[in-house]
Homo-oligomer: A and B are copies of this chain.
Amino acid sequence: MKEYKPEEIKYLKIHGRTAGGTAPLPLFWTGSGIELNVKGSELWIEVEVDYGLYEPWLGVLINSAKVSRQMLNKGRYWLCLFRGMNENTVKNVRVIREVQAMNGDPECSLVIHSVRADGEFLPVKERPVKIEFIGDSITSGEGAVGAREEEDWISMWFSAADNYTALTARELNADYRVISQSGWGVLTSWDNNPDCNLPKYYEKVCGLLTGEKNEKLGALKENDFSAWQPDIVVVNLGTNDSSAFNTPEWKDEATGRHHKQRSNSDGTFNEEDLKAFEEAVSNFFSKIRKYNPKAHIVWAYGMLGNSMMPALFRAADAYQRKSGDRKVSVFQLPNTTDKTIGSRSHPGILSHEKAAEELSVYLRSLL
């Protein structure tokens, strides 16, 4: 058995944004991880895990089959990925962070220090397509695990391997990255906080993370977009922006700063606030285009209702008129039903499967 630092493995494939550093290798976003082709009988990784509130979970796929998913306790320790296998066959091994980046827990982190193996590493093929998914709890796979009655907001109900991002990527044979945060939107969070939107942090490696530790790991650095250019960017935002119209005003007690997406007395959206939402969408199209000059940008929305759909189409129209950019579109995902719901009133695995089925048909038509 021989031990390797990540940078010593020539054929290590890293999934998800990092700041480049691999000593140790941080797994910031849900769906991030490493992939190896290993000829050998045994493989281990050394992780270091911390959290204040929300622990990370880890999934393992061997030859594309999910074999393991586990909660990670605090500490620095070795995890065995496989053992006792035929030393002469090549195994494709993928380790995947199952839980989203945790804006609300500055201590939450998961890094890989080392790999231990008794054989050799072989090249991992580039997949022919690259997709970036940007979203909220739906894209974080919240509710894809657990019984329907679950209501606690905890890491256990999240899954990266069993949500529509992974399923769509598999269907299209794509490498993919996920940028997501539960409760957040394109303009505000579900509770009207104007700081909790994904566009604000898009340029950073994982800018919504907090805490010194994550800063040291490079989370707040500028992302190097040139290193990984997706063919498609899928944005699944709007569900929380819609909720904001029906939740109380957000107020920062310290500064007195406040925000509210208002509803009219007849239940419709306030026109001015809806306009602000549309501008946020339009601006996010611009920002994504800036960093991804050649990608198709698809706003895919509707797994938990589709009340923002007209506004999304207006915003896409406005952006297109302004920019002349023709590689943007809006796509409706199938709504979650009584039959397909999961835990925490979120899409269950059946809903994710349906979404992936529809979405992958659509994305294939673009490629």
Contacts and interface: CB of A to CB of B under 8 A. Distances in A.
A310 to B, nearest CB: 6
Nearest to A81: B71
A358 B330 contact: no
A317 to B, nearest CB: 6
A86 interface: yes
Contacts of A89: 151
Interface stretch (A59-67, A211-219, A235-243, A254-262): A59-67
A321 B334 CA distance: 27
A147 B332 CA distance: 30
A152 B329 CA distance: 35
Interface in A109-157: 145-147, 149-152, 154-156
Contact of A64 (B53, B83, B147, B326): B147
Contacts of A55: 80, 83
A343 B55 CA distance: 32
B335 A358 contact: yes
B152 A62 contact: no
A85 B152 contact: yes
A154 to B, nearest CB: 4
A309 to B, nearest CB: 7
A330 B316 contact: no
B146 A62 contact: yes
Contact of A316 (B149, B302, B306, B310): B310
Contacts of A62: 146-147, 150, 156
* Chain A, interface residues (CB within 8 Å), range: 35 or more
B317 A86 contact: no
B313 A146 contact: no
A324 B89 CA distance: 48
Interface in A168-226: none
Contacts of A4: none
A155 B68 CA distance: 12
Nearest to A156: B67
Contacts of A67: 69, 145-146, 156
A330 B310 contact: yes
B151 A82 contact: no
B331 A65 contact: no
28 contacts: A53-B84, A55-B83, A62-B146, A62-B156, A63-B146, A63-B149, A63-B150, A65-B150, A68-B70, A69-B69, A73-B78, A73-B80, A82-B154, A83-B154, A85-B154, A86-B151, A266-B326, A302-B332, A310-B313, A310-B329, A313-B313, A313-B330, A314-B317, A331-B332, A334-B334, A334-B358, A335-B362, A337-B361
Given A62-B147, A337-B361, 9 more contacts: A55-B80, A64-B147, A67-B69, A70-B70, A268-B326, A306-B331, A332-B332, A335-B361, A335-B362
Give the 3 A-B residue pairs with the shortest CB-CB distance, closest first.
A313-B313, A332-B332, A70-B70
Interface of A: 53-55, 57, 62-65, 67-71, 73, 78-80, 82-86, 89, 145-147, 149-152, 154-156, 266, 268, 302, 306, 309-310, 313-314, 316-317, 326, 329-332, 334-335, 337, 343, 358, 361-362
